[in-house]
Homo-oligomer: A and B are copies of this chain.
Amino acid sequence: MTAHLYRDPSAPAPERVRDLLGRMTLTEKVGQVNQRMYGWHAYERHDGGHRLTDAFRAEVAAYDGMGALYGLQRADAWSGVGFADGITAADGAGVADMVQRHVVENTRLGIPVLFTEEMPHGHQALDGTVLPVNLAVGATWDPALYEAAAAGVAAELRARGGHVALVSALDLVRDPRWGRAEECFGEDPYLAAEFTGALVRGARSAGVAVVLKHFAGQGATVGGRNSAATELGARELHEIHLAAARAGVRAGAAGVMAAYNEFDGLPCVASRTLLTGLLRERWAFDGLVMADGGAVDRLVRITGDPVAAGARALNAGCDLSLWDACFPRLAEAVDRGLVAERTLDTAVARVLALKFRLGLFEQPYRTAAPPEPRSGPRELSERIARASVTLLAHDGAVLPLAPSTRRIAVLGPNADSIAQQTGDYTAPQRPGSHHVTVLDGIRSAAPPDAEITHAPGCDLVGGDLSGLPGAVALAAAADVAVLVLGGSSARSDDTSFDTNGAAVVTSADPVGMTCGEGVDLADLSLPAGQLALLDDVAATGVPVVVVLVQGRPHALPDLSGTAAAVLSAWYPGPWGGRAVADVLFGAAEPEGRLPVSVPRSAAQLPVFYNAKDHGYRGYVDQPAGGRYPFGHGLSYTTVEYAPPRLSRTRVTPDDPTLTCRVTVRNTGARPVRETVQLYVRRLSGGSSWPRVRELRGFVRLRLSPGERAEAVFAIGADTLASVTRDLRLAVEPGELLLETGPSSAGTRGARLVIAPPN
């Protein structure tokens, strides 16, 4: 073999890319932007081991190489992969090496394949540690904790041969009817940006590249309908939907995934405005743009022809496609003049650049030794779950449960199901895993002589009331009833799936699933059976603690007459039951804060806190505001906030730095971890109508009873920037309030003038 420049690790990566590109045939180039195959079709079980399939060999041969292989280790109900036929942690590196070796050794140029894997909340593979879903992560308001957890699960992924993690991070819950609300860090741009940055840093520290899902504006789909239309304008996009992507790009994300949804009338995968104008030209992003699964195929609805569809996406700025039948035909597109070969070269170069960046040419393989079992991610999963438990309402008395509590009735359809507390995009769990449901957790945490009774009382969905009397009898005999209600994204072997893995669940064919991809919900109320259970249990007079296990904020009625306490545990993951129990018994304080507004009903949507500030008085039959505001979360103590103090009350766009301090004091009898929130409220100026307020910072303080502390916010251009007429970020003259407080609805402000530049 001659010493090719691209093989020389000491050569600069761009030169290696250029050299390699110059050696490639058109077919080989097309192969590098091809990610058509489902990874689990690349292998089969054989004699207790794994071997490559003919289909895989054929796919490699067809293009004399392979750009990326998606989901080699994916396991779930959709892929149909489980412990009987899949790849475990112990097998992972070996199988990956086998696949890689075939590619490297059986292609002319020996370009390694990129292994892309789903890592929505942990690596979606057998034995992958499952984290709470992103919405729970958002409720922790603790990016550092998430960064550690992301590093942990990325290390698992890397140890078994994966290179690239696909992670939902960019979408926002602007309409909680959307089934993918659970995959979002919340409704707020700043909060999502903080967690996205943490994700990218964490994964990179483990040597894993991140492709951020989904770019852009997928949280804005009309009616919360999955991957459907948006009516989104450029300004709303820039003001709300881009912050997380910008933060991820800054943190070094390897790529973004172009979303299914439209912007400006075109699916993002065909949007040159977004993928080239914004991402490349304005942000100077040099990473990868990957299409969402089958998204390029959908363009045939416009182009009428798959070859033209591939050309359209490539011309827009897509580099690597997924599962589609279009990109594999890009050679025809070049031949037909629909796309220039140099455009294809640019895409290929980006795929190759990532491979060089990851060092695949130097070391395409993992060691064959199975990784040590990691305790880190599991512990972090539980810590996230604990930090995410959000106390929405409390009579101030029932919690923490008194040590004297002897009889606890644990009721509700979400009390004792691991599947229902782990969320969508979860691999099958190893039989015999020591997982902890809420029922399990309460049993473990309760005093040894406590009597714990349990009945589901009703189904998750529907209005069957036959189980109520039994549950009510248990409640009537108890000192307290813990009702575990909410939703479920549990998939099963019976679930029908769309071609892209989204569940197909319609009102004509409900299957006990209320959440997750493909499972959008119109009426956000808890199902009739659950509400009836709550009413009937409350009617016994026993104190009721409602624990919501959910992947979205369900619409809540006024529960002040029925529940002594209401907590949201989100989907807390496999060990989440212990986290919930710790909070119930006071072994942990409730620390979660709402990453999303809780509506009163679907009829009053949307309810995000950072709405435009038009002084709307509300509907005639319902207020415009939700049941619980963004940022809200009670603790077991009380905290007093002084007004914020600014080091300067007048700044200029050129010199916008100041310090905002606020003194908070724990005025109750228990410790607290208080999330001090900083909002900006524009009083005048700016080139766009102002929002009610916008989160621009938060500080978490631990306070012992009686303790006083100061939260300090360093204010700068990032804090004060707004979106200009030409859609750039800048500090614009005007008057603001800098507000601090414990939630978006409980702030006090200090006035700041941004004087025009001289």
Contact = CB atoms under 8 A, between A and B. Distances in A.
Interface string A87-116: 000000000000000000000000000000
A519 B620 contact: yes
B262 A612 contact: yes
B304 A619 contact: no
Given A235-B264, A239-B265, A519-B620, A689 B301 contact: yes
A547 interface: no
A342 interface: no
A232 B505 CA distance: 30
A506 B302 contact: no
Give the copy number: 2
A222 to B, nearest CB: 6
A624 interface: yes
Interface residues of A, number: 73
Given A223-B604, A233-B231, A522 B622 contact: yes
Interface string A157-169: 0000000000000
A690 B618 CA distance: 34
Nearest to A618: B506
A155 to B, nearest CB: 36
Interface string A245-288: 00000000000000000111111000000000000000000000
Contacts of A505: 620
A689 B265 contact: yes
A537 interface: no
A234 B616 contact: no
A447 interface: no
A266 B521 contact: no
B620 A262 contact: no
Contacts of A304: 683-685, 734-735
A103 B4 CA distance: 91
A47 to B, nearest CB: 42
A689 B229 contact: yes
A220 interface: yes
Given A506-B617, A507-B622, A684 B301 contact: yes
Contact of A611 (B222, B264, B300, B622): B222
Contact of A603 (B227, B235, B523, B618): B523
A738 B735 CA distance: 55
A11 B114 CA distance: 79
A500 to B, nearest CB: 12
A118 interface: no
A683 B523 CA distance: 32
Contact of A612 (B228, B233, B622): B228
Interface string A519-548: 111111000000000000000000000000
Nearest to A272: B725
A693 interface: no
Contacts of A619: 177, 225, 506-507, 520-522
Contacts of A616: 225-226, 228
A499 to B, nearest CB: 12
A466 interface: no
A493 interface: no
Contacts of A606: 222-223
A613 B523 CA distance: 23
Contact of A620 (B514, B601, B689): B514
A352 B684 CA distance: 34
10 contacts: A227-B614, A231-B233, A233-B234, A265-B723, A304-B683, A506-B619, A507-B618, A510-B621, A522-B619, A601-B603
Interface of A: 177, 179, 220, 222-223, 225-236, 239, 262-267, 300-304, 504-507, 510, 513-514, 518-524, 601-606, 611-614, 616-624, 683-690, 723, 734-735
